[in-house]
Amino acid sequence: MRLDKYLKVSRLIKRRTVANEACDNGRVTINDKVAKASTEVKAGDIISISFGNKEVKVEVLDVTETVRKEEAKELFKYL
């Protein structure tokens, strides 16, 4: 699954366009490498997102195309 879509489906970022912009600005890394929005995400990847002065680091547990709001937190765990 594309990185921008994963960030939206997992609800780490609310909208796909915002996720796309964050990737374009170099604020998202996968396994310590700057990632484009089109980068493929797989289970076991470590994603870091910089929100201003705050950084969120998560490990991908599962990649699913669609998910209900209650189950979104099961796709990743905070590190």
pLDDT tens across 42-66, in order? 999 999 999 889 999 999 999 998 8
- Here the CATH number for the domain that contains residue 63 is 3.10.290.10
- Are the C-beta atoms of residues 23 and 2 closer than 8 Å to each other? no
Cα–Cα dist 74/77, whole Å: 7
Count of domains forming the chain: 1
Q: What's the angle, vertex CA 68, arms to CA 65 and CA 69, rounded to 5?
A: 120
Q: What is the pLDDT of residue 52?
A: 87
pTM of the complete model = 0.92
Residue 15: pLDDT band (50, 70, 90) is very high
Domain extent at residue 7? 3-78
Q: Are 49 and 30 in contact (CB under 8 A)?
A: no
pLDDT of residue 66: 86
